[in-house]
């Protein structure tokens, strides 16, 4: 017969029952106290003469209670990284660091881990570069596990924002026959078929050139009927760049706004989205974000800068300035900068503008028409279009957007000048059957996470990074 529980222990059990679901500690129980099993992977183990202390990782943000086990239960296979089930019961902890602990009565090893071969040694902080060498194993590190939990929570926050604001989610195609951005940085899709003599030949499966999509914006326009539309899908760009801010495959959040007549309509949605998902992340992933910040902070100054930038995003309005004003600011405040009308802003220019504005997010609007895609709406001055970029601390450009050209004649002329009338006749057709004023934007999801986490390299915020000359797994 079990000994009666103290009032304190009863309260601890109630608290633990409430918390276990939140902690996602995998267990089943009869009466909760007895016949309980914890399942996970050994994060740390400390063996003494008669007793061992085990900390499990079950993939959740919160750690499972410390496991106390007689050393005879811990075979040589119970090491850091091994997958185990621990049978036993909860009890009041005699230690000061936790209220309860788990007393092991049996340990079952599901999968051993050879710590001598394992590339991540326990209790050692490995560099991002070292971790990236082992993409197939890096989910076992505390850093990448935390990043992926944050990514999951922010993904859900994005969907919640758009669902709460009347948007519908449209899965646009990954295979596309057009270059939406007109940059020519496309991955061409071919079918490779083996012949009878084992030679490989290329076949055009679609009887026309087809590419991996660079954006779903053109396709979203087709579904902009009676509601806004939004999608969350991978995009592909064959940029031969190995910088810390670029990927060949990345995720884009793209939204189309019906009846958007001014750039301010788009900017308000963009600003609202970023504020909303940032607040949500700080609430749902607070401990993980704090942990990642400390791992990524080269100095305390950088950690303070990052936290201040995130705080300003939530509390302050984003800055607005025209492209023309941006050129003036850059030319006046940098002895090494001489920009003329029509020059595109480079990463260094973007960061300088953000710094000039007190490290606040900056909307730059009304670009020269040569710098924006064909679908950008022409302004009355004939030389600029209603396009914008959102510049952020640390990462530079995060979002790009435009009012879309809804006037049939002007869009016809643009398509004709770029020799796109045949391939995009369907897009022009949309302007003949009840077209509305509209606009939209795209936001790099991975780059947002890079900003939020202060991650030095964007390759470490996605599970399977692809970049020039690198496509592992």
What does the pLDDT look like over 444-471, one tens digit per residue? 999 999 999 999 999 999 999 999 999 9
Asked if residue 467 belongs to a domain, the reply is no
Predicted confidence band of residue 224 (pLDDT cuts 50, 70, 90): low
What does the pLDDT look like over 381-404, one tens digit per residue? 999 999 999 999 989 999 999 999
Q: Are 4 and 43 in contact (CB under 8 A)?
A: no
Q: What is the pTM of this model?
A: 0.88
What is the structure's pLDDT at 136? 94
Asked if residue 279 belongs to a domain, the reply is yes
One domain, residues 104 and 144: no
What does the pLDDT look like over 81-103, one tens digit per residue? 999 999 999 988 877 777 889 99
Which residues are within 8 A (CB) of 400 and not within 5 positions of it... i.e. 6 or more apart? 387, 388, 389, 390, 441, 442
Asked if residue 117 belongs to a domain, the reply is no
One domain, residues 243 and 336: yes
87: which 2 tokens? Answer: 């049978």
Q: Residue 156 maps to which CATH number?
A: 3.30.930.10
Does 248 score more than 60 pLDDT?
Answer: yes
- Looking at 111, 126, 150, which one is the last position of a domain? 111
Average pLDDT over residues 173-200: 75
One domain, residues 24 and 162: no
What is the structure's pLDDT at 15? 47
| Percentage of residues of the chain with pLDDT beyond 90 | 62
**Least confident interval from 135-144, 218-227, 243-252:** 218-227
Average pLDDT over residues 396-417: 95
Residue 9, SS3 per DSSP:
helix
What is the structure's pLDDT at 86? 96
What is the structure's pLDDT at 105? 95
One domain, residues 246 and 389: yes
CA–CA dist 387, 369 (Å, integer): 9
Mean pLDDT rounded to a whole number for the chain: 87
- Looking at 92, 111, 130, which one is the last position of a domain? 111
One domain, residues 373 and 437: yes
What is the structure's pLDDT at 250? 94
Residue 151, SS3 per DSSP:
helix
What is the structure's pLDDT at 218? 84
What is the structure's pLDDT at 232? 85
Phi-psi region for residue 366, left (φ > 0), alpha (ψ -120 to 50) or beta? Answer: left
One domain, residues 215 and 318: yes
Asked if residue 180 belongs to a domain, the reply is yes
One domain, residues 287 and 188: yes
Query: What is the number of other CB atoms lying within 10 angstroms of the CB of residue 302?
Result: 14
Predicted confidence band of residue 198 (pLDDT cuts 50, 70, 90): low
What is the structure's pLDDT at 183? 57
One domain, residues 216 and 313: yes
Does 26 score more than 80 pLDDT?
Answer: no
| Percentage of residues of the chain with pLDDT beyond 70 | 88
Across-strand partners of 69?
A: 52
What is the structure's pLDDT at 252? 94
Does 148 score more than 50 pLDDT?
Answer: yes
Q: Residue 36 maps to which CATH number?
A: 2.40.50.140
One domain, residues 262 and 364: yes
The number of distinct structural domains making up the chain is 2
Q: Are 316 and 393 in contact (CB under 8 A)?
A: no
Average pLDDT over residues 111-140: 92
118: which 2 tokens? Answer: 């394992």
**Least confident interval from 131-135, 215-219, 425-429:** 215-219
Q: Are 452 and 314 in contact (CB under 8 A)?
A: no
Q: 173 versus 297: which is more confidently predicted?
A: 173
What is the structure's pLDDT at 33? 56
Asked if residue 126 belongs to a domain, the reply is no
Asked if residue 116 belongs to a domain, the reply is no
Question: Nearest Cα to 434, choosing from 404, 457, 408?
Answer: 408
Query: What is the number of other CB atoms lying within 10 angstroms of the CB of residue 331?
Result: 13
Predicted confidence band of residue 17 (pLDDT cuts 50, 70, 90): very low
167: which 2 tokens? Answer: 């948007």
What is the structure's pLDDT at 185? 82
Asked if residue 387 belongs to a domain, the reply is yes
Does 288 score more than 80 pLDDT?
Answer: yes
Q: Residue 412: which domain range?
A: 138-460
Helix (H) or strand (E) holding 319: strand 319-322
One domain, residues 105 and 232: no
One domain, residues 158 and 25: no
Q: 33 versus 179: which is more confidently predicted?
A: 179
Q: 59 versus 17: which is more confidently predicted?
A: 59
Q: 202 versus 121: which is more confidently predicted?
A: 121
Per-residue burial over 18-44, b if 16 or more Cβ lie within 10 Å, else e, is eebeebebbbeeeebbeebebbbbbbe
What is the structure's pLDDT at 115? 92
Asked if residue 2 belongs to a domain, the reply is no
Average pLDDT over residues 286-300: 87
One domain, residues 409 and 444: yes
């Amino acid at each position: 017969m079990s000994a009666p529980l103290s009032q304190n222990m009863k309260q601890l059990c109630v608290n633990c029952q409430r918390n276990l679901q939140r902690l996602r500690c995998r267990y089943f129980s009869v009466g909760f106290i007895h016949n309980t099993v914890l399942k996970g992977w050994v994060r740390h183990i400390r063996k003494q003469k008669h007793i061992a202390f085990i900390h499990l990782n079950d993939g959740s943000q919160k750690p499972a209670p410390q496991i106390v086990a007689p050393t005879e239960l811990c075979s040589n296979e119970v090491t850091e990284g091994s997958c185990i089930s621990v049978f036993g019961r909860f009890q009041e902890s005699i230690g000061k660091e936790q209220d309860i602990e788990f007393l092991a009565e049996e340990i079952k090893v599901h999968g051993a881990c050879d710590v001598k071969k394992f590339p991540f040694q326990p209790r050692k902080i490995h560099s991002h570069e070292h971790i990236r060498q082992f993409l197939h194993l890096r989910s076992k590190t505390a850093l990448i596990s935390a990043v992926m939990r944050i990514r999951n929570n922010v993904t859900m926050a994005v969907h919640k924002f758009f669902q709460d604001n009347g948007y519908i989610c449209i899965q646009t195609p990954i295979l596309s026959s057009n270059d939406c951005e007109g940059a020519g940085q496309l991955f061409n899709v071919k079918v490779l078929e083996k012949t009878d003599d084992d030679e490989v030949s290329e076949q055009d499966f679609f009887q026309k050139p087809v590419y991996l999509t660079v954006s779903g914006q053109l396709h979203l326009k087709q579904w902009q009927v009676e509601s806004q539309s939004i999608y969350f899908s991978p995009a592909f760009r064959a940029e031969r760049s190995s910088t810390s801010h670029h990927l060949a495959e990345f995720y884009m959040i793209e939204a189309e706004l019906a009846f958007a007549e001014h750039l301010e309509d788009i900017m308000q949605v963009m600003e609202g989205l970023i504020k909303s998902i940032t607040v949500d992340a700080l609430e749902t992933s607070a401990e993980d974000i704090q942990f990642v910040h400390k791992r990524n902070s080269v100095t305390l100054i950088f950690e303070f800068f990052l936290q201040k930038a995130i705080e300003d995003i939530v509390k302050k309005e984003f800055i607005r300035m025209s492209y023309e004003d941006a050129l003036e600011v850059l030319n006046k405040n940098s002895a090494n900068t001489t920009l003329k009308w029509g020059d595109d802003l480079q990463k260094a220019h973007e960061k300088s503008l953000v710094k000039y504005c007190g490290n606040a997010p900056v909307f730059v609007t009304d670009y020269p028409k040569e710098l924006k895609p064909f679908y950008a709406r022409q302004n009355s001055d004939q030389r600029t279009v209603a396009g914008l970029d959102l510049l952020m601390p640390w990462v530079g450009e995060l979002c790009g957007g435009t009012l879309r050209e809804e006037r049939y004649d002007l869009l016809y002329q643009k398509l004709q000048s770029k020799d796109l009338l045949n391939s995009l006749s369907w897009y022009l057709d949309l302007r003949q059957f009840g077209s509305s004023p509209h606009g939209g934007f795209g936001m790099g999801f991975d780059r947002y996470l890079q900003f939020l986490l202060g991650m030095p390299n964007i390759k470490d915020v996605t599970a399977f990074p692809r970049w020039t000359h690198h496509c592992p797994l």
